[in-house]
A = this chain, B = another copy of it.
């Protein structure tokens, strides 16, 4: 997660970034994405608290790697310029195109939109982090989401002090990235 430098994102730039997200392809053109921009400091703090709680629960669940996990910077909610929550819309069960056997394609579409936003942000010199350390039911309740809608990302966005030269979790030794050629097979699965 980037070290955010506070500051702000100009409204026209934020609009441009969200437009990039909105250009994403989606299964059956269902455009399942919804974005909630958090401008209220009290609400931002409530989201930070939810993430803080899940961070502790994840640490417990990680067992022997708990202390190592707790040393990592896993969110920038309180210091990012813009905070967005990305959610899947309600009423998705009515969309069958491309989803009869793979209903999770709605999430895939939303992730494509978020990746567009991410690349556009980076192209504009901004950092972004996708936080998934939260209880989706609690966040949905906090933001008044209807039955069937589901938050899947807390997006921290804004100017950063610097960009990491490599993924933070690699730099910190959390894991070692795999090489591409190990993950590309021909005609069938290969054991690597």
Contact = CB atoms under 8 A, between A and B. Distances in A.
A133 interface: yes
A69 interface: yes
A62 interface: yes
Contacts of A39: 186-187
Contacts of A38: 187
A18 to B, nearest CB: 6
A58 B100 contact: yes
A160 interface: no
Interface residues of A, number: 76
Contact of A178 (B28, B31, B104, B183): B31
Given A101-B135, A186-B37, A119 B118 contact: no
A116 B149 CA distance: 26
Contact of A62 (B96, B111, B114, B143): B96
Nearest to A119: B119
9 contacts: A18-B184, A22-B183, A34-B185, A36-B185, A101-B133, A101-B135, A108-B110, A109-B111, A119-B119
Interface of A: 18-19, 22, 24-25, 27-31, 33-40, 43, 54, 57-58, 61-62, 69, 74, 89, 96-102, 104-105, 107-112, 114-116, 118-119, 130-136, 143-146, 149, 152-153, 167, 169-170, 174-175, 177-178, 180, 183-189
